Amino acid sequence: MQSNLVDFIQVLRSHDIRVSPAETLDAVGVTTTLGYSDRNLLRDGLAMTLAKTPAEEVIFLDCFDRFFQQDLADFSSAEMSDPQDENNDTDATDDTAAQTEDLSTNQLSALELAAQNNPSLESLLQTPLMENLLNNNRNELTLAIKAAAQQVDLQQIQMFTQKGQFTRRILDAMGEEQIRNAVIELEKSESPGLAVLQRYRDILRQQVRDYVEREYLLHAEGKTQQFMDDILSKTRLNNIEHIYLHKVHELIRKMAKKLASRHSHKRRRLKRGQLNMAKTLRKGIPNDGVMFNTFWRQVKKEKPQILAVCDVSGSVAAYSKFLLLFLYSLQDILPKVRSFAFSSHLGEVSAYFDDYPVEKAIELVNWKYGGATDYGNSLMDFSKLALDDINSNTTVIILGDARNNNGDPKLDILKSIFQRARQVIWLNPESRRAWGSGDSEMLRYQSACHFSAECNNLKQLERIVDQLLKSTR
Amino acid sequence: MHTQHFPQLDSVELIEQGFESFGYICSRKIATAVFLAFQLRKPVLIEGPPGVGKTELAKTISLLLETPLIRLQCYEGLDEAKALYEWKYGKQLLYTQVLKEKLGDLLQGATGLAESVAKLHQFGDIFYSEEFLEPRPLLKAMQQEKGAILLIDEVDKSDYEFESLLLEILSDYQISIPEIGTVKARTTPMVFLTSNNTRDISDALKRRCLHLYIPFPTVELEERIIRSRVPNVSEQLRHQLVGFVHSLRQLDLKKAPAISETIDWARSLILLHADQLEEELVRSTLNVLLKYEEDIETTDSELRNLLSSNSSDTRTA
């Protein structure tokens, strides 16, 4: 049962619930305390150790039901028999009612009769698989399916396209091939036992298919999601199809939240002082132990400030949406972020981000500041708006391709920003090789940046932001 | 460090019954959490909207087990001097004064500086010792001879630093005091933390706790709670008022009424001698349930609909 529990925890992990080894131990503790007799009790108990938010609890309950509600495979016959289907055995694969039909004694004997003058069929009937099928031994068959599944590593299933493949492999591992061969042989000899054997084969196939389907839902659904996220975060931003935009938004939000929780606590410092008794005493010694002065433990609080500037011109149109999305998330995470957008002129857009939901804000910014690029002019606007606020605590992030339509780059302004600020970071969506080609001023601007990087997919963005947050804390 | 045994907590059913005898009607899940917390010696992090009985749970357990409840209310800026321990500065100062006066006696017979210092070293250093330690709630909970219920209320209001301060206490039931050493709990206390979810609690803290989410109760459970807390409400009124509060929770309100508000409302209806819900009565007592002007306005316009659908429910039921 413990290995079962570990399997279950694997499933939870694939559904985005983070379970640490310590929590696994806790879960084992819970199961030994509560026992397995009361299912609901066990579910509540495990939920308390494994799911840490209400949202996770919903996922947990879902997984729990799927995982522990694996019924025994149903090979039963009798009750549900339907005379029409009995005559129509070719449809049996699709029709569950047909599978569960009773095999009357004479049908069974037909099979045995056929076996009498067919040694290979006879040996087939002796195999444990066929015996279990004939005797409707559900427990044994369920176990056999499970064992076969383990043998072919069904838990590794990733995509729905693999379902057929895995079904085939499990059937092979169970020795279904023999049945298949026997069916072909009976077909040749047009034996009356053919229909019966075919039905057994179909019942088995259907059961294995169902089992694979269940396991797929359990193990792969979460993985497919992760796989999609992974792919999206590595794709160049301008190649991401429009329909995936909302997914990317989700992803950025997820990323932002992760970064926020990792970094936000470092921002805060002790606000109030505490009497530093040792120092007060020590400083009192020269005064004969009389403490004239009190000394306080205090940590100086440092407030990082970030100014983010984003190019929204036509040449980076495909990126700007993501960059703005990123800015929007950034403003959520960090306390003092001012956002600016420009193409031919520059303006502050922090207010839009604060006031409107993300889609509306991006639309407004694009509408207001979109156009042809003029870095020189925009830098001048920027220095007018914000240069006075830039000090040794300020980080300036510039997002843009540095393609200036051959205008004056006004490098001196960026230089003055560079000298004042603690950090100037330039994120360029173009690949490093294209920097400096054509009207790109990147190589010149680069000289006035503490850090410049290529940034055209979410993975890179995440890495850079992580670095940034580390240095601004 | 040893653990106290409480027969009251031997099974989930016993806990449910015990709570009920103190007027705390709880769901199976809550009782399970308490049972596990006791069996596994783990703290419980209780989350849920305000007013669903998070704090009440800890209080009831303290009544049930007849152990002292030590409560630490968290707020922004709470630090170790207020939560863990503080030195008794005044007494420490007096001690140095006394020491100075007695110094002559103590150093009697010593000749030369080196000898005096050597003699001084022979005395125990009690300047930083337990005698000058002023225990704050967390340390106090560790010092209880017969165990204690430690309630760390609204832990989400505290700073991140404070959370890390709690980690040692929650996993090992001990406190490190740099000047003295490690103070271990005499008897492991039962720890409850409550959170209103105003911010995310760090994973490290969550990992050490059992996680219990108390949602708004079901109609059936809330009726049982009202019956136990306000016994003189008639059956019909109880059914009506709980139904009404539940329909209120479906609306988009700034703050949905919680159990404590339902109880208050039931009490006020008793005071007003109501035996069933009438529109005018509800309108005039709405401020017991809803704490925001906007919420009252939203509800006001919907009131007739809510009441009529509610009463038709009652009839069909």
Question: Which range among A294-303, A400-409, B50-59, B77-86 shows the weakest confidence by mean pLDDT?
Answer: A294-303
Please choose, from the candidates A312, A393, A68, the residue with its C-alpha nearest in 3D space to the C-alpha of residue A214. Answer: A68
Confidence of residue B2 (pLDDT cuts 50, 70, 90): low
Contact: B161, A270; criterion CB under 8 Å? yes
Is the CB of A29 inside 8 Å of chain B's CB atoms? Answer: yes
pLDDT digits (tens, 9 = 90+) for A163-208: 888 888 888 888 777 788 888 877 777 777 777 788 888 888 888 8
Question: For chain B, which residues lie within 8 Å of any Cβ of chain A, measuring from their own Cβ?
Answer: 12, 28-29, 32-33, 35-36, 39-40, 42, 44, 47, 77, 79, 81, 87, 89, 92-93, 96-97, 100, 159-161, 200, 202-203, 206-207, 210-213, 215
What integer pLDDT is reported at residue B32 of this predicted model?
Answer: 92
pLDDT digits (tens, 9 = 90+) for B223-233: 999 998 888 88
Q: Across the interface, which of A22, A41, A291 has its CB nearest the CB of B12?
A: A41
Write the CB contacts of B278 (distance below 8 Å, at least 6 apart in sequence): none
DSSP 8-class letter at B211: E
Q: Are B138 and B175 in contact (CB under 8 A)?
A: yes
Please choose, from the candidates A142, A157, A146, the residue with its C-alpha nearest in 3D space to the C-alpha of residue A219. Answer: A157
Contact: A26, B40; criterion CB under 8 Å? yes
Pure H helices in A127-175 = 128-134, 138-151, 163-174
Between CA A473 and CA A302 the distance in angstroms is: 8
Question: Which range among A234-248, A407-421, A435-449, B88-102 shows the weakest confidence by mean pLDDT?
Answer: A234-248
Q: Supply angle C-alpha B170, B175, B177, rounded to 5.
A: 155
Contact: A281, B96; criterion CB under 8 Å? yes
Contact: B81, A274; criterion CB under 8 Å? yes
pLDDT digits (tens, 9 = 90+) for A123-140: 777 777 777 777 777 777
Residue of A nearest to B179 (CA): A278
Between CA B39 and CA A18 the distance in angstroms is: 24
The tokens describing A414, both together, are: 């960026």
**What are the Cα distances from residue A65, in Å, to A38, A61, A208, B17?**
14, 6, 20, 29
The tokens describing A424, both together, are: 């100037």
- Whether A305 shows a pLDDT value over 80: the answer reads no
pLDDT digits (tens, 9 = 90+) for B129-140: 888 888 999 999
Please choose, from the candidates A370, A410, A416, the residue with its C-alpha nearest in 3D space to the C-alpha of residue A396. Answer: A416
The tokens describing B28, both together, are: 């199976």
**What does the mean pLDDT of chain A come to?**
75
For residue B32, the distance in angstroms to the closest alpha carbon of chain A comes to 7
Q: What is the residue-wise DSSP string for B259-314?
A: HHHHHHHHHHHHHTT-SS--HHHHHHHHHHH--SHHHHHHHHHHHHHHHHHHHHHH
For residue B31, the distance in angstroms to the closest alpha carbon of chain A comes to 10
- Whether A281 shows a pLDDT value over 60: the answer reads yes
pLDDT > 90: percent of chain A:
0
- Whether A76 shows a pLDDT value over 80: the answer reads no
For residue B28, the distance in angstroms to the closest alpha carbon of chain A comes to 8
For residue A12, the distance in angstroms to the closest alpha carbon of chain B comes to 16
Q: Are A425 and A398 in contact (CB under 8 A)?
A: yes
Let me know if domain A305-472 sits in CATH 3.40.50.410: yes
Q: Residues A88-117: what's their mean pLDDT?
A: 50
Is the CB of A142 inside 8 Å of chain B's CB atoms? Answer: no
The tokens describing B94, both together, are: 């007096």
Pairwise pLDDT comparison (A12 vs A1), residue with the higher score: A12
For residue B211, the distance in angstroms to the closest alpha carbon of chain A comes to 5
Q: Is the ipTM here above 0.95?
A: no
Q: Across the interface, which of B33, B35, B160 has its CB nearest the CB of A265?
A: B160
Confidence of residue A90 (pLDDT cuts 50, 70, 90): very low
Confidence of residue A268 (pLDDT cuts 50, 70, 90): very low
User: How many CB contacts within 8 angstroms connect chain A with chain B?
Assistant: 72
Pairwise pLDDT comparison (A431 vs A233), residue with the higher score: A431
**What does the mean pLDDT of chain B come to?**
85
Q: Are A205 and A75 in contact (CB under 8 A)?
A: no
What integer pLDDT is reported at residue B73 of this predicted model?
Answer: 93
What integer pLDDT is reported at residue A82 of this predicted model?
Answer: 38
Interface test mutation site (partner A, options B93, B95, B97, B102, max chain A beta carbons within 10 A): B93
Domain range list for chain A: 2-68, 83-231, 270-301, 305-472
Q: Residues A231-251: what's their mean pLDDT?
A: 63
A residues 77-136 closer than 8 Å to B (CB)? none
> What is the phi/psi pair of residue A398, to 5°?
-115, 125
Confidence of residue B317 (pLDDT cuts 50, 70, 90): very low
